[in-house]
Amino acid sequence: MVEKVCFTVFLCLSACLATLLSEANGSRRQPQDKFILNDPEKLFVFGDSYADTGNWPPTDASRPWREPYGMTFPGKPSGRWSDGRVLTDYIAAYLGIGSPQAYSLWKGDEEAKQYGLNFAYGGTGVFDTFEGGPNMTTQINYLQQLLQQNVYTKHDLTSSVALVTSVGNDYRSYHGDIHHIIEEFVESITKQLSKNLKRIHEMGVPKVAVTAMQPLGCLPMVAFATGKYPNCDENTNNITRFHNQMLKQRVDKLNNQTDGSPFVIVDLYAAFTTALNIKHNQHPGKSSFPHPLAPCCLGNCGEVDVSGKKEYGLCDDPKMAFFWDMTHPSQQGWFAVYSALKSSLPHLFHHPQQETPIV
């Protein structure tokens, strides 16, 4: 996600959700996971900055291509919204394959597409957002075009999995009358998201994983803006929980309508709260991070003023910070999230014979 939009939407949305949450709780079902994919060879990625590995144009105007982004890995800016690796890199390593090439950096060579392609673009959403960039439908269109051009074949897709991230940019770009149509807005997002998942599967990808939203109220940007820092904002987390409950109902319905239950949820909400040891009262507990909601890169990370002076400050050691900037985990933060997710991943993907080590 990209820090550009005010927080009024979060605060207003939360006031409308208590009743909706209780209603959603009464209709939850447990899906049957019958599908196992043997030895996936490719990973196709769609979504936003939590998965983007370099799709923003590599110019000085693009923050993920400026220092200090990428300082931990690969040692210089690489287009990732972190000091190092992001979720895509860890999922690819789990699958035992290389991290897929960013689509905008792909030059058409065969070797670079062997592990799939990454279409995720920071700041985008299911629908158009203030940030611009290709929304999720457009990203899926890119893969469709590659199929039509025989860059990939249907057979290629049958040995692949898809990762879809949706971490809140649609909500941050919302500008309608939220007091009257909040339920309809959440339903419109999750409905379109379910259509996207179905489309990816119908293109030939046998397993499609989508992220549940992380606890938005625990992002430093939100915690600071709402005055709740060093704790999370419960009102904003209500938005996340309502979205995730609606998403689960959509995914359950898709699986009930599709042979093999090919759709799965990667529970970022649970993984973030585990990594940060978030309690029910929204207070981060003891974890490996001394100040869980404090970003390592504080201020306008990557920005400099007209005189060349940095508009940010850096912590002493990114490994001690869960968050890299005001909205994105550090590499160590993503490793903590991955560690929390890892026990559930065999239910989401077939475990490869050998996981690719992350060093």
For residues 91 and 98, what is the distance between their CA atoms, to the nearest angstrom? 10
Catalytic-labelled residue, pool 14, 49, 194, 330: 49
For residues 246 and 242, what is the distance between their CA atoms, to the nearest angstrom? 6
Strand spans (E) along the chain: 42-46, 101-102, 117-118, 160-164, 207-212, 263-267, 297-304, 310-314
Instruction: Check if 350 is active-site.
Output: no
Q: Please, how many CA atoms are within 13 Å of residue 85, restricted to the half-sphere of its CB?
A: 20
* Contact between residue 53 and residue 174 where contact means Cβ atoms under 8 Å apart: no
Instruction: Check if 62 is active-site.
Output: no
Ramachandran area for residue 37 (φ above 0: left; ψ -120 to 50: alpha; else beta): beta
CA dihedral sign, ordered 271, 237, 211, 166: negative
Catalytic-labelled residue, pool 52, 89, 267, 325: 325
Instruction: Check if 325 is active-site.
Output: yes
* Contact between residue 218 and residue 237 where contact means Cβ atoms under 8 Å apart: yes
Collapsing DSSP to helix, strand or coil, 170 comes out as helix
Catalytic residue numbers read 49, 325, 328
